[in-house]
Amino acid sequence: MRLLGLIKHALLRARNKLNPHVASKLLSRHDFSNSRIRTILRESGLKVGDGLSLRAPLLLEDGLMISLGNHVWINYDLTGVGAGHIEIGDRVLIGPHVTLVTANHPLDPLERAKPHRVEHGKITIGENAWIGANVTICSDVRIGKNSVIGAGSVVTRNIPDNVLAAGVPCKPIRLLDTARDST
């Protein structure tokens, strides 16, 4: 109970408003129930559907905007980088040690050398997708519904619906028979 009192006091000092970065710091250090995790994330302004299961730690950069669908499963050590948007659809499974990067820098070295030259994009993960362990998804990428991203992949381009994709860079390997392959 003392821990919750300290948390409430810290929240009051922050004008009763969490941000995703503060919420992720809280969730990186404490073992809360999934119900409490949903409450903390909602209080930080994130859209969180019903039935979220999340295993700490969760690391989110300040300014990142996230929308989580219903019945999303997030395993240990999800990292969200940048101040862009991340949309995760219903029934998405995310393996351990996944990194979602919404920040990008210009390719032109002269532009990149200028202060604050960060571009913020969007990542969309379609419903019923499965993201394997140790996957990195880069800015401005869409993962199609029912698709599976193999462990260790680096996703730099859009992945269509209903495919198994893997590799560095990640590429579709085969179509999934969604009647047989999805459960």
How does pLDDT run across 128-145, given as a tens digit for each residue?
999 999 999 999 999 999
CB 110 within 8 A of CB 117: no
**Positions marked active-site:** 105
Domains of the chain: 2-181 (2.160.10.10)
Confidence of residue 16 (pLDDT cuts 50, 70, 90): very low
The tens digit of pLDDT for each residue in 83-124 reads: 899 999 999 999 999 999 999 988 888 988 888 788 899 999
Confidence of residue 32 (pLDDT cuts 50, 70, 90): confident
Question: Which residue blocks in the chain are alpha helix, DSSP H?
Answer: 2-13, 20-29, 34-43, 109-112, 178-181
Q: How far apart are alpha carbons 2 and 107 in whole angstroms?
A: 50
User: What are the C-alpha distances in Å from 40 to residues 32, 50, 71, 99, 149?
Assistant: 10, 14, 17, 21, 29
pLDDT of residue 151: 98
